[in-house]
């Protein structure tokens, strides 16, 4: 839906527009703390703490990474500090990870982060996981060996469910990857039972020189011979808002007609980012013979 204006405008700019680089004196933002935390059912909490990178400056990883934050997660009864660890399966491999508190659907979790002399807090609840009825691979004609990952979902009656889709090829991907528009809610599909499909997302943390080596016609496709792990997550409203806006912001990067997308954070205390509870179910698509 959010593409309407973009679709509308692209031909217009093709008809008449000319684009050029300009030098503008831009005032940079103050440094802000960014928190990307999640707790999934059956897993411990994982939190990435970074700082933003002002537009006026070159990206400097030593300034972005926050390695000395104090991070605490509580389920209302017990509170545990999270340890700073290296985890190769995370988007940025430096994360704060829990040990004792394991996510339970329906439970509310409280996050506290102390970083750069400020305290940030957030609350989330893990929604009840909703299992996909079935998953399969289907070719995208006229191709016969390249296709998309399909699934059948029966949305529970009552508006308010939201979902996020991830997929991973165990032998090829470092982590679960969200394709574009991986977040959706049941505003238009409430109580319906239907098929849907996703293409293969690209991991932004992979060196583009490696991505470029892949034949162009195979990009975005799963192969007939791929094993695909599907991670299908039920998420709450504030996470859905955050991720939808985040996806819009990604798509509008470099789009001249995009209006500023404010990504609404649920972090209190002046921070950016999200503290999200994920009700996760996993499925596997095996190579079709």
Q: Which stretch binds other proteins (CB under 8 A): 59-67, 72-80, 122-130, 146-154?
A: 59-67
Beta bridge partners of 121: 112, 268
Q: Which stretch binds other proteins (CB under 8 A): 75-83, 109-117, 213-221, 270-278?
A: 270-278
- State the Cα–Cα distance between residues 128 and 236, nearest whole angstrom: 10
Q: Residue 150 in contact with residue 167, Cβ under 8 Å?
A: no
Does 249 interact with other proteins (rule: CB under 8 A)? yes
Q: Which of 41, 34, 35 has its CA nearest to residue 277?
A: 41
Q: Which of 47, 113, 102 has its CA nearest to residue 78?
A: 102
- State the Cα–Cα distance between residues 90 and 94, nearest whole angstrom: 8
Binding mask 197-236 for other proteins (x = CB under 8 A): ------xxxxxxx---------------------------
Nearer to other proteins, 114 or 258 (CB): 258
Binding mask 27-56 for other proteins (x = CB under 8 A): xxx--x-x-x-----------x-xxxxxx-
- What count of residues does the chain have? 289
Q: In angstroms, what is the minimal distance from the CB of 60 to other proteins?
A: 9
Residue selected from 76, 108, 194, 225 as contacting other proteins according to rule CB under 8 A: 194
Nearer to other proteins, 225 or 268 (CB): 268
- CA dist 37 → 16, 63, 91, 109 (Å): 44, 20, 12, 11
Does 121 interact with other proteins (rule: CB under 8 A)? no
Does 144 interact with other proteins (rule: CB under 8 A)? no
Does 146 interact with other proteins (rule: CB under 8 A)? no
Does 112 interact with other proteins (rule: CB under 8 A)? no
- State the Cα–Cα distance between residues 231 and 277, nearest whole angstrom: 14
Using DSSP, state whether 238 is helix, strand or coil.
Answer: helix
Does 8 interact with other proteins (rule: CB under 8 A)? yes
| Binding residues among 151-170 for other proteins as defined by CB under 8 A | 159-160
Does 128 interact with other proteins (rule: CB under 8 A)? no
Sign of the dihedral through C-alpha 211, 212, 214, 218: positive
Binding mask 81-100 for other proteins (x = CB under 8 A): ----------xx--------
Which H/E stretch holds residue 125?
A: strand 118-125
Sign of the dihedral through C-alpha 254, 260, 265, 271: positive
Does 266 interact with other proteins (rule: CB under 8 A)? no
Nearer to other proteins, 93 or 105 (CB): 93
Residue selected from 44, 107, 189, 227 as contacting other proteins according to rule CB under 8 A: 189
Residue selected from 264, 268, 284, 287 as contacting other proteins according to rule CB under 8 A: 264
First-last CA distance in the chain: 37
């Amino acid at each position: 839906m959010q593409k309407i204006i973009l679709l509308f405008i692209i031909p217009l700019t093709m008809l008449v527009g000319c684009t050029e680089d300009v030098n503008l004196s831009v005032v940079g933002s103050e440094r802000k703390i960014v928190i990307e935390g999640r707790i999934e059912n059956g897993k411990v909490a994982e939190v990435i703490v970074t700082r933003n990178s002002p537009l006026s400056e070159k990206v400097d990883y030593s300034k972005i990474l926050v390695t000395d934050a104090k991070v605490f997660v509580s389920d209302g009864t017990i509170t545990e500090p999270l340890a700073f660890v290296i985890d190769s399966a995370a988007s940025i491999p430096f994360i704060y990870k829990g040990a004792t508190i394991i996510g339970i659907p329906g439970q509310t979790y409280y996050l506290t982060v102390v970083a750069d002399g400020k305290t940030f807090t957030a609350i989330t609840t893990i929604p009840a996981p909703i299992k996909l009825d079935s998953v399969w691979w289907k070719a995208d004609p006229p191709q016969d060996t390249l296709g998309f990952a399909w699934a059948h979902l029966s949305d529970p009656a009552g508006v308010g469910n939201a979902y996020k889709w991830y997929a991973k090829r165990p032998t090829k991907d470092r982590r679960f990857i969200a394709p574009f528009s991986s977040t959706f809610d049941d505003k238009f599909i409430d109580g319906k039972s239907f098929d849907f499909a996703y293409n293969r997302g690209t991991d932004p943390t992979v060196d583009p020189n490696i991505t470029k080596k892949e034949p162009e016609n195979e990009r975005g496709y799963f192969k007939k011979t791929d094993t695909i792990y599907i991670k299908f997550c039920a998420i709450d409203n504030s996470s859905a808002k955050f991720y939808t806006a985040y996806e819009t912001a990604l798509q509008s990067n470099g789009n001249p007609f995009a209006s500023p997308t404010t990504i609404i954070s649920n972090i209190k205390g002046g921070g950016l980012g999200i503290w999200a509870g994920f009700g996760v179910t996993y499925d596997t698509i095996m190579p079709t013979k």
